[in-house]
Amino acid sequence: MTSKATIALGNALVGFRGRIRELVVDKAGVGLPGPELERRLIELGFVEGADVELLHQGLFGGDPIAVRVAHTTIALRRREAMAILVTPALPA
């Protein structure tokens, strides 16, 4: 797997399916300190290796987004989802 295919979940489109590769929380502009954001994301199930699918998005600016992660559906804003780096699933 090359790192070229890796994108931030915050940039993904509705219908995106993939797997979490890494959490990177050192981005600026987030309302929370990085380590705290990382812990919250993990508590909601965003850990490396988990399968994700972008299910829905809001009307204005496509924000927030609803993400299926493993067996749970989580709503979050794209700003925070930028910390979740994902690789697309291979086309079936």
Partner 1 sequence: MNAGGILTAAVAPAVAPVIALVGNPNCGKTALFNALTGSRQKVANYPGVTVEKKIGRLTTPAGRVLQIVDLPGTYSLRARSPDEEITRDVVLGRLQSDVNPDLIVCVGDASNLRLALRLALELKRVGRPVMLSLNMMDIARKRGVEIDVARLSRELGVPVVQSVAVRRGGTDALLGEIDRLLEDLPLAQAADWHAPDAGELRSAQREADRVLRAAVKSSGERDSGTAAVDAVLLHPVAGLVVLLALLFVMFQAVFAWARPLMDVIQDGFTWLGTLVEASPLPDLLKSFFKDGLISGVGSVIVFLPQIVILFFFILVLEDLGYMARAAFLMDRIMGGAGSVIVFLPQIVILFFFILVLEDLGYMARAAFLMDRIMGGAGLHGRAFIPLLSSFACAIPGIMSTRVIDDKRDRLTTILVAPLMTCSARIPVYTLIIGAFIPDREVWGFVGLQGLVMFGLYASGIAGALGVSFIIKRVFWHGEPGEPFMLELPDYKLPRVKSLAIGLWTRATIFLKRAGTTILSMMVLIWFLASFPRPPAGATEPAISYSLAAMLGSLLQPLTEPLGFNWQINVALIPGMAAREVAVGALGTIYAIDGGEGAADKIGQAIAGQWSLATALALLAWYVFAPQCASTLAVIRRETGSWKWMWVTFGYMLALAYAAALITNQVARALGAG
Q: Report which of 12, 85, 72 is spatially closest to residue 43, judged by C-alpha positions.
A: 72
- Dihedral over Cα of 29, 27, 21, 88: its sign: positive
**Which residues is 15 bridged to in the sheet?**
none
Q: Report the relative pairing of strands 17-23 and 84-88 from DSSP bridges.
A: antiparallel
Question: Is residue 27 a contact point for partner 1 (CB under 8 A)?
Answer: no
5-24 mask for partner 1 (x: CB under 8 A)?
--------------------
- Closest separation between CB of residue 2 and partner 1, Å? 24
Question: Is residue 72 a contact point for partner 1 (CB under 8 A)?
Answer: yes
Judged by the rule CB under 8 A, the positions of this chain that interact with partner 1 are 29-32, 35, 37-45, 47-51, 55-61, 63-64, 66, 68, 70-77, 79-80
